[in-house]
């Protein structure tokens, strides 16, 4: 009996092989001029109306500008670890020379060493190696501006903020949001709910529900889907998005959002790689160079608020204002950043943008998740 | 006269030999035909799609490597499911037991590991620790089932979520022993503490396809399969477990100690899943992977159930099926892209798995169009044939 079963399975495997082999025999003809092949890897779906969609717009921008000189592709919903490594292996086998990994944790020193001929670019991380670059930008500035809109729209004393992971990137955005909201609405509390996922519409909606039930009359988010916005629309409260313009998901609730414009950076890097002038580095974009901006306003944003936001945007752009300038106090009221001190991106340990592990005054929630 | 349904499904009294071959082959052909229809309907060339799928899974340079990486955990979780399901103990908790094995195994590796090359002692300790971690987690639903008759399906399933949260907590929300706390990068994004080099599992390198590495875990999975086969076909333990699976009452009547067996089988199943977890640490990640977007996103424990079912709980078949499904999963990422939605990849994979499982029905039942073979007034009697 046992032997027969084994025989059967072997046969099954052989058949499977045969089926594939028969279709595998017809290879395509050799290419003519080979375009430069670049791939993007996303944590969520390419059309998530958030983070990944913003990156995919950047990819299409590159494809549009360079036309047939490049061939771009993307891989979506890729898990960190073995699945990322599998994806890279298949991309390299298909001749991809450059890979934009759009989330932290994807590119490891091991995989970078395994494919020294491939140029890796990773968003939001700090791993710079001979063939690895890191890039991101001052979204906190525009998140701060969107916080101004949230504070102005709040008719109660609690704003809900749906957050992904308890990591410095998310913590600094939550802090920037709270600093903005408390500027236009002194004393307002920003309440956090963690989802432990970049993209999980179900959890994001549940988080929005619980924040609303806890008294939040405005919602904001640092997660990738518009689920919280759809919930906000259903209960008629204002909503601030993140990553991409998702106004059409909640046309009445929509206030604005901090959105990314990855395209110009991608174009610059792909061109450099094609020309052989690519060098690893750490890029941090800003409002000034067009990396981040505010999405168009929704109908609920008053003219007065728009004018105020425009004023702050100008000042940030000119460098005469920076939201992460001391004095900054944490949740317990302890002075973290002294008066007049500006926080830096990488330098300063837990008082840097990339190391921030504490929440500013007025935020309710734990920086540990 | 009562109307009879035009189609009836009845159990086969005898299973013809040819069926055992025809059904799996038939269901595969069926799957590829149905999937081809879906592909054509969505504007894709089925032949080039299948070719890409196969090349990405088994042919392309380095593809076998990646297929083995996907297949190794599936072999463990498949064997874990097979070990329990044989006794009709439905342990759905291989996922959580795998996490627990990863946690305890990583602890052993971090604690015992020193500098220098792979150390047999450290690796053996990791294997034992990982097995114990999974075993302990598997024993919780086991004890509940044995002493309180709680459904192990529910308890083992729900414990998966608990284990996942513990895993995330250890890396993301605490300064635990498993978390990397040295250096600025460790504050930017939480990661597991890297295993010392003596705790990194060596693989067997070959020169095939530009260097295929056979992970140590894959070899371990084969050993586990041999052990399971021996246990279930050559020992009294296995025989008693089979009897218990067939009939609880008969087993009791025969004097088989049911509680003890339930505990032993759940412990065994959990331990195998735990080995899958520690293989993740030692073979592939070289740290504890607590990222909800990492190990936890892949659902190896659940896919393992499908692997076990397709392998009909035969340990060797499970290993082979794990390899094939591993290839299918590996190819999935290669196939998707702007012109090929990842959802469609899932649909194709789903059709193949569904047909393969559905075909199983035909080996045990037959579908009769029209009236049943005998009038239902005379109940069907199983002929008393010599066993």
Is residue B109 included in any domain, yes or no?
Answer: yes
For A:164-193, CB contacts with B below 8 A are 165-169
Q: Which CATH superfamily is domain A139-259+293-364 in?
A: Response regulator (3.40.50.2300)
Contact B286 A89 (CB under 8 A): no
Q: How far is A57 from chain B (nearest CA, A)?
A: 12
Among A24, A91, A127, beta carbon nearest to B51: A24
3-class state of residue A170 by DSSP = helix
Question: In the predicted model, is pLDDT for residue A29 greater than 50?
Answer: no
A44: contact with B, CB 8 A cutoff: no
What's the pLDDT band for A177 if we cut at 50, 70, 90? Answer: very high
> Fold match between A36-138+262-285 and A139-259+293-364?
yes
CA atoms within 13 A on the CB side of A46: 21
Contact A73 B337 (CB under 8 A): yes
Q: What proportion of chain B, given as a percentage, has pLDDT over 90?
A: 64
What are the boundaries of each domain within chain A? 36-138+262-285, 139-259+293-364
> What contacts B13, CB < 8 A, 6 or more positions away?
B382, B383
pLDDT, one tens digit per residue, over B225-257 is 999 999 999 999 999 998 988 888 888 898 899
Q: What proportion of chain B, given as a percentage, has pLDDT over 70?
A: 94
Query: Which residues of chain B lie closer than 8 angstroms to A357, CB-CB?
Result: 187
Q: Print the SS3 string covering B118-135.
A: CCHHHHHHHHHHHHHHHH
Q: Which of A46, A196, A103 is nearest to B296 (CA)?
A: A196
Q: What proportion of chain A, given as a percentage, has pLDDT over 70?
A: 91
Query: Which residues of chain A lie closer than 8 angstroms to B295, CB-CB?
Result: 79, 81
pLDDT, one tens digit per residue, over B64-90 is 999 999 999 999 999 999 999 999 999
Is residue B321 included in any domain, yes or no?
Answer: no
The two beta strands, A254-260 and B212-214, are unpaired
Omega into A327 within 30° of 0, i.e. cis?
Answer: yes
Query: Which residues of chain A lie closer than 8 angstroms to B297, CB-CB?
Result: 79-80, 83
pLDDT, one tens digit per residue, over A191-221 is 999 999 999 999 999 999 999 999 999 999 9
Instruction: For residue B218, give the H/E element and its range.
Output: helix B216-234
Query: What six digits make up the tokens of B215?
Result: 């992970």
Query: Which residues of chain B lie closer than 8 angstroms to A196, CB-CB?
Result: 168, 172, 292
Q: How far is B3 from chain A (nearest CA, A)?
A: 40
Q: Which domain holds residue B229?
A: 74-300
Contact A75 B70 (CB under 8 A): no
Among A5, A43, A89, beta carbon nearest to B317: A5
CA distance A118 to A109: 13
For the entire predicted model, the pTM comes to 0.88
Query: Which residues of chain A lie closer than 8 angstroms to B54, CB-CB?
Result: 20-21, 23-24
In degrees rounded to 5, what are phi and psi of residue B7?
A: -125, 130
CA distance A46 to A33: 28
Judged by average pLDDT, the poorest of A254-258, A361-365, B36-40, B372-376 is B372-376
A33: contact with B, CB 8 A cutoff: no
CA distance A41 to A103: 8
Question: In the predicted model, is pLDDT for residue A23 greater than 90?
Answer: no
| Sign of the alpha-carbon dihedral angle for B138, B142, B148, B149 | positive
Question: In the predicted model, is pLDDT for residue A161 greater than 60?
Answer: yes
Other CB atoms within 10 Å distance of the CB of residue A56: 23
pLDDT, one tens digit per residue, over B299-321 is 999 999 999 988 889 999 999 99
Q: How far is B133 from chain A (nearest CA, A)?
A: 22
Q: Stretch B17-29: mean pLDDT, rounded?
A: 81
The two beta strands, A36-41 and A98-101, are parallel
Architecture of domain A36-138+262-285: 3-Layer(aba) Sandwich (3.40)
Q: Which of A13, A83, A127 to mutate to test the interface with B (most CBs of B within 10 A)?
A: A83
Contact A103, A307 (CB under 8 A): no
Is residue B351 included in any domain, yes or no?
Answer: no
A128: contact with B, CB 8 A cutoff: no
Contact A13 B320 (CB under 8 A): yes
Contact B188 A167 (CB under 8 A): yes
CA-nearest residue to B229 within chain A is A2
pLDDT score recorded for residue A20: 46
Among A17, A75, A124, beta carbon nearest to B333: A75
Q: Stretch A167-188: mean pLDDT, rounded?
A: 96
For A:288-317, CB contacts with B below 8 A are none
Among B20, B66, B286, beta carbon nearest to A86: B66
Among B280, B292, B336, beta carbon nearest to A197: B292
A283: contact with B, CB 8 A cutoff: no
In degrees rounded to 5, what are phi and psi of residue B163?
A: -60, -40
Among B61, B172, B187, beta carbon nearest to A93: B61
In degrees rounded to 5, what are phi and psi of residue A356?
A: -60, 120
Is residue B345 included in any domain, yes or no?
Answer: no
Is residue B132 included in any domain, yes or no?
Answer: yes
Q: How far is A298 from chain B (nearest CA, A)?
A: 31
The two beta strands, B212-214 and B204-206, are antiparallel
Q: Stretch A314-336: mean pLDDT, rounded?
A: 95
User: What is the b/e burial string over A91-106, where b = at least 16 CB atoms within 10 angstroms of the residue's CB?
Assistant: bbbbebbbbbbbbbbb
Overall domain count for chain B: 1
The structure tokens 């459904």 sit at B151
DSSP state of A286: -
Q: Which of B233, B316, B243 is nearest to B87 (CA)?
A: B243
Is residue B164 included in any domain, yes or no?
Answer: yes
CA-nearest residue to A199 within chain B is B293
Contact A19 B29 (CB under 8 A): yes
Contact A197 B184 (CB under 8 A): no
Cα separation values, A91 from A88, B333, B337, Å = 5, 9, 11
CA distance B197 to B150: 43
């Amino acid at each position: 009996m046992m032997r027969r079963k084994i025989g059967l399975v072997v046969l099954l495997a052989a058949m499977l092989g045969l089926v594939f082999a028969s279709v595998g025999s017809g290879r395509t003809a050799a290419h003519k001029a080979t375009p430069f092949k670049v791939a993007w890897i996303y944590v969520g779906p390419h059309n998530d109306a958030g983070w990944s969609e913003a990156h995919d717009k950047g990819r299409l921008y590159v494809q549009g500008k360079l036309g047939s000189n490049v061939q771009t592709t993307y891989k979506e919903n890729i898990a960190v670890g073995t699945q990322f490594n599998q994806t890279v292996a298949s991309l390299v086998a298909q001749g991809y020379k450059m890979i934009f990994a759009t989330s932290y944790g994807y590119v490891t020193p091991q995989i970078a060493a395994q494919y020294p001929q491939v140029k890796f670019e990773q968003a939001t991380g700090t791993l710079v190696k001979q063939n690895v670059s890191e890039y991101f930008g001052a979204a906190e500035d525009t998140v701060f501006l969107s916080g101004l809109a949230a504070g102005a729209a709040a008719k109660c004393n609690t704003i809900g903020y749906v957050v992904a992971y308890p990591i410095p990137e998310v913590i600094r955005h939550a802090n920037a949001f709270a600093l903005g909201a408390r500027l236009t609405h002194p004393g307002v509390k920003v309440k956090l709910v963690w989802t432990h996922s970049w993209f999980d519409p179900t959890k994001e909606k549940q988080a929005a529900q619980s924040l609303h039930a806890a008294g939040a009359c405005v919602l904001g988010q640092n997660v990738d889907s518009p689920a919280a916005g759809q919930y906000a629309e259903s209960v008629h409260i204002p909503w601030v998005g993140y990553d991409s313009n998702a106004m059409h998901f909640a046309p009445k609730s929509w206030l604005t959002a901090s959105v990314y414009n990855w395209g110009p950076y991608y174009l610059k890097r792909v061109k450099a790689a094609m020309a052989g002038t690519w060098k690893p580095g750490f890029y941090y974009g800003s409002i000034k160079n067009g990396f981040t901006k505010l999405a168009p306003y929704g109908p609920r944003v008053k003219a007065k608020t728009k004018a105020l936001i425009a004023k702050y945007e100008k000042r940030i752009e000119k460098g005469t204002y920076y939201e992460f300038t001391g004095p900054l106090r944490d949740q317990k009221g302890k002075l973290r950043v002294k008066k007049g001190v500006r926080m830096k991106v990488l330098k300063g340990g837990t008082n840097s943008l990339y190391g921030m592990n504490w929440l500013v005054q007025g935020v309710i929630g734990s920086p540990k998740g | 006269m009562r109307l009879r349904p035009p189609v009836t499904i009845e159990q086969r009294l005898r299973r013809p030999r040819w069926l055992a071959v025809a059904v799996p082959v038939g269901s595969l052909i069926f799957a590829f035909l149905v999937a081809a229809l879906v592909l054509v309907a969505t504007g894709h060339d089925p032949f080039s799609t299948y070719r890409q799928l196969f090349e990405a899974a088994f042919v392309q340079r380095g593809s076998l490597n990646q297929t083995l990486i996907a297949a190794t955990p599936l072999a463990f979780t498949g064997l874990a499911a097979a070990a329990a399901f044989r006794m009709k103990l439905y342990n759905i908790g291989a996922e959580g037991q795998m996490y627990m094995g990863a946690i305890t195994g990583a602890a052993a590796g971090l604690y015992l590991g020193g500098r220098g090359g792979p150390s047999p002692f450290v690796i053996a300790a990791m294997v034992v620790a990982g097995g114990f971690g999974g075993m302990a987690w598997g024993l919780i639903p086991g004890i509940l089932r044995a002493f309180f008759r709680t459904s192990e399906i529910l308890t083992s399933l729900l414990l998966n979520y608990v284990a996942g949260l513990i895993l995330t907590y250890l890396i993301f929300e605490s300064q635990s022993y498993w978390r990397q706390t040295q250096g600025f990068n460790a504050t930017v994004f939480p990661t597991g503490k890297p295993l010392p080099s003596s705790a990194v599992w060596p693989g067997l390198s070959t020169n095939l396809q530009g260097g295929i590495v056979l992970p140590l875990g894959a070899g371990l999975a084969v050993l586990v399969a041999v052990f399971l086969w021996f246990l279930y076909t050559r020992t009294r333990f296995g025989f008693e477990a089979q009897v218990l699976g067939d009939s609880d009452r008969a087993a009791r009547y025969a004097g088989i100690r049911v509680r003890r067996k339930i505990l032993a089988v759940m412990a065994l199943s959990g331990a195998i899943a735990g080995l899958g977890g520690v293989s993740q640490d030692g073979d592939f990640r070289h740290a504890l992977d607590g990222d909800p977007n990492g190990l936890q996103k892949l659902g190896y424990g659940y896919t393992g159930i499908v692997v076990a079912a397709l392998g009909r709980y035969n340990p060797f078949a499970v290993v082979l099926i794990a390899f094939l499904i591993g290839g299918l999963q590996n190819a999935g990422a290669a196939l998707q892209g702007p012109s090929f939605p990842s959802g469609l990849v899932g649909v194709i994979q789903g059709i193949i798995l569904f047909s393969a499982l559905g075909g199983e029905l035909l080996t045990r039942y037959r579908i009769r169009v029209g009236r049943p073979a005998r009038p239902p007034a005379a109940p069907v009697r199983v002929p008393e044939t010599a066993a």
